[in-house]
Amino acid sequence: MNVVSTVVGYPYIGENREWKRIVEGFWKKELTEQQFEQQMKAIRLEHIQRQQALGLDLIPIGDFTYYDRMLDLAMMFNIIPNRYNNLLEKESALTCYYAMARGTEQAVACEMTKWFNTNYHYIVPEYEGQHLYVTENRLLAYFLEAKEELGLLTKPTLIGPYTFVDLSKGYDEKTRAAFILALIPLYAQVLKELVDAGAEWIQLEEPSLTKSLSSKEARLVEEIYKQLTEAVPEANIMLQTYFEALTNYENLIQLPVAGIGLDFVHGKKENLEALRKSGFPKDKVLNIGIVNGRDIWSANLAEVASDVQAILNLSNANDLWVSSSCSLQHVPVTTANERKLDSVLLNALSFADEKINEIVHVAHFLSTQHWAKEGIVSESMECIRALATHPVRNNARVNDLVKSISNQDFVRLESFEERREIQKTALGLPDFPTTTIGSFPQSPAVKKTRAAWRKNELTNEEYAAFIKEETARWIAIQEEIGLDVLVHGEFERTDMVEYFGEQLTGFAFTEKAWVVSYGSRCVKPPIIYGDVEWSEAMTVKEVVDAQSLTSKYVKGMLTGPVTILNWSFVRNDIPREAVANQIALALRKEVEALEQAGIQIIQVDEPALREGLPLRREDWSTYLEWAVNAFKLATSSVKNETQIHTHMCYCEFNDFLDPIRALDADVISLETSRSHGELIASLKENPYELGIGLGVYDIHSPRIPQVEEMETILKESLEVLSKEQFWVNPDCGLKTRQESETIAALKRMVQAAKLLRDSS
């Protein structure tokens, strides 16, 4: 039997984020276009060589991008919005490309949105009826480059037509089919040129085929692949699905392509069942996505090999590929540069390079029935065992605490209606109270002082004194502005998850484990590898200090359990729900500590609540139930008088009002200034009763809005919300803004709230 090792894609950022530096160097004009191209080529080839050296049989190309792969395709097919045309004419294609991604003075950027249920964000192509043609076959250039320079036949990969259109905008139900079918000849041309240049396999990524499809959509998919394979019968297409099981398996498995790739990690159960029931076509290659492309944990090789063997027996396939479950772009490059991690943890980690190693070994085992390296299986199992028995995973106190959770722990003492009255008397806030989301500008001085402290150039006392001073300065500023509920400003935090992770048990922080969030922006998620426990107050000192300086209320400020979970790499030995509950219990202690210290308003941010939603709607309720409960577990032990706030951003709220209501938070502040109208419409249909602040201005822009604009938003909101429930606040935290613009905008916001009070 022929077994090929491959991956769906490899990270492009480089182990030291070289890619980011080149991209940003070009933006800052430190590199000419020619230097940029040269340096990009060098790392592109280097990444291929790395995978080659690791022993991978079939290496992808086209997984590399200059910003985003959806944007690459949009450029390749001339789906360039009209507003950038002059750039294309006057400047270079590259300038136009980055303008679409980032916007210019004259033309706003294309929309950016989440790539399925990952933390990666892609650029949404805008179809405006442009003349569609292949502007440049970039894939062919990459293919030839690898062939000529390295003597290697790679596997070109591109996002398939169904998914590409599914994720684009500018068409409706009626015009969708026509748009897709107009792209088929373009795909055919790209594929044909690749085949002519010697490509033996071409991977078309179709993750949208794991969503639910209507029968009409399923027929469209069949039509697409019928036309495409008729146009280029000579191309061997590997139709690659990931993130879930292939939907409509029985039909789609018959598509006239040479191979089908299935995700046997995230869609394991369903794909296996389908395979058992309907088998796998004899004439196709099965690509088994078996090594998890989204987590950072070493595979248990014995288990992986036996799973693959089982799949093989069920499928009867002759030719088999072993691969990652999805592109490895969602994991960091290599564990080799981590020098500070607990060695038990480090040994159990597997990033992209280590995952390729696993794939190569499993593929070798399958074709020869023996392992290439003696002891490799027992080694892999030993690493996993060592972590499982690590004290950090066996904290009896946390276990006891989790076991003692009862239904009452998820509910406040009284209903919202009762609490509202009690809080009204206890807090005595004016109508339309004004507040902010938590953070204030992190000035260069704040960043510099923190860096100095981290390098031990400042003592803990000196650093704390600086933070205290900055907080005091901003308390005075907030009083001057006239805000009703103040915040301490979060100057002690770089990142809203890291700050808590560093103080709780069970978290680890890497040095170089970066992944791309969008464009050149990378994040380094913490690793939750052990039981999470609260040991001492994490935020009380700063908030109490701030409260001592003012007679106004200062809000306590925490990051919620679900956000901490969703923005971390999470252990896989217990369910996510269990980890969420551990974090929630730790935060519950912090909430109680704040309350005991006299803080009467406490905000627990959950910007990532929606991000955790499963891809398929039918799975939403299971996730939402435990996620909402985790928030409630963290926030329900307080007195009726204590007001719990929460905040959410980066998401659509229109179909999310029910889960928001279920949180039972006394007040929620939402990011809405960019989608205000839609939310108002949803609120009309689905009235919301609890306290709510609809962000009145967009904090992502340096622009200072007029009082009248904010007033209009407030008045419109009041058509669907009552005076009793209504708060006035910006969209999100202000840490990335300048001091002067922050003060100016907030002053106008306070003024708008005053006008509203006067007129109602």
Known catalytic residues? 700
Within 188-207, the residues that bind Zn ion by CB under 5 A are none
Taking CB under 6 A as the criterion, the residue among 253, 437, 570, 680 binding ligand GLN is 437
Measured distance CA(577)–CA(625) in Å, rounded: 10
Element (H or E) spanning 26, and its range? helix 18-27
Decide whether 332 or 560 has the Cβ nearer to ligand GLN. Answer: 560
Which string of x and - marks every residue 461-500 that binds ligand GLN (by CB under 6 A)? -----------------------------x-----x----
Annotated binding site for L-methionine: which residue ranges?
437-439, 490, 605
Which runs of consecutive H residues, i.e. helices, occur in 692-738?
Answer: 707-718
With DSSP H G I counted as helix, E B as strand and the rest as coil, what are the percentages for the chain, rounded to 5?
Answer: 50, 15, 40
**How many chain residues touch Zn ion (CB under 5 A)?**
3
Q: What residue 748 binds from Zn ion, ligand GLN, none (CB within 5 to 8 A, per partner kind)?
A: none
Taking CB under 6 A as the criterion, the residue among 304, 672, 733, 745 binding ligand GLN is 733
Annotated binding site for 5-methyltetrahydropteroyltri-L-glutamate: which residue ranges?
17-20, 114, 119, 521-522, 567, 611
Candidate ranges 439-447, 511-519, 532-540, 649-657; the one touching Zn ion (CB under 5 A): 649-657
Q: Any contact of residue 732 with Zn ion (CB under 5 A)?
A: yes
DSSP secondary-structure letter at 410? G
Pair of tokens at residue 74: 């949009």
Measured distance CA(115)–CA(159) in Å, rounded: 12
Q: Any contact of residue 694 with Zn ion (CB under 5 A)?
A: no
Write down the least CB distance from residue 477 to Zn ion, Å.
Answer: 20
Decide whether 275 or 670 has the Cβ nearer to ligand GLN. Answer: 670
Q: Any contact of residue 735 with ligand GLN (CB under 6 A)?
A: yes
Measured distance CA(215)–CA(384) in Å, rounded: 44
Write down the least CB distance from residue 671 to Zn ion, Å.
Answer: 6
The CA–CA distances, whole Å, from 443 to 489, 490, 546, 738 equal 12, 12, 19, 8
Question: 387 with 530: CB under 8 angstroms?
Answer: no
Q: What residue 735 binds from Zn ion, ligand GLN, none (CB within 5 to 8 A, per partner kind)?
A: ligand GLN
Candidate ranges 269-277, 406-414, 480-488, 648-656; the one touching Zn ion (CB under 5 A): 648-656
Taking CB under 6 A as the criterion, the residue among 438, 441, 519, 730 binding ligand GLN is 438
The CA–CA distances, whole Å, from 487 to 155, 250, 491, 728 equal 53, 56, 11, 14
Question: 623 with 614: CB under 8 angstroms?
Answer: yes
Q: What residue 438 binds from Zn ion, ligand GLN, none (CB within 5 to 8 A, per partner kind)?
A: ligand GLN
Element (H or E) spanning 231, and its range? helix 215-231
Q: What residue 439 binds from Zn ion, ligand GLN, none (CB within 5 to 8 A, per partner kind)?
A: ligand GLN
The 3 state secondary structure assigned to 474-539 is HHHHHHHHCCCEEECECCCCCCCCHHHHCCCCCEECCCCCCEEEECCEEECCCEECCCCCCCCCCC
Candidate ranges 153-161, 437-445, 523-531, 533-541; the one touching ligand GLN (CB under 6 A): 437-445
Question: 378 with 73: CB under 8 angstroms?
Answer: no
Closest by CA to 547, choosing from 458, 483, 472, is 472
Candidate ranges 327-335, 360-368, 375-383, 432-440; the one touching ligand GLN (CB under 6 A): 432-440
Q: Any contact of residue 649 with Zn ion (CB under 5 A)?
A: yes
Question: 395 with 531: CB under 8 angstroms?
Answer: yes
Q: Any contact of residue 538 with ligand GLN (CB under 6 A)?
A: no
**How many chain residues touch ligand GLN (CB under 6 A)?**
13
Question: 78 with 132: CB under 8 angstroms?
Answer: yes
Measured distance CA(620)–CA(600) in Å, rounded: 33
Q: Any contact of residue 11 with ligand GLN (CB under 6 A)?
A: no
Taking CB under 6 A as the criterion, the residue among 281, 506, 607, 693 binding ligand GLN is 607
* Residues within the interface to ligand GLN (CB under 6 A): 437-439, 490, 496, 557, 605, 607, 647, 649, 732-733, 735
* Residues within the interface to Zn ion (CB under 5 A): 607, 649, 732
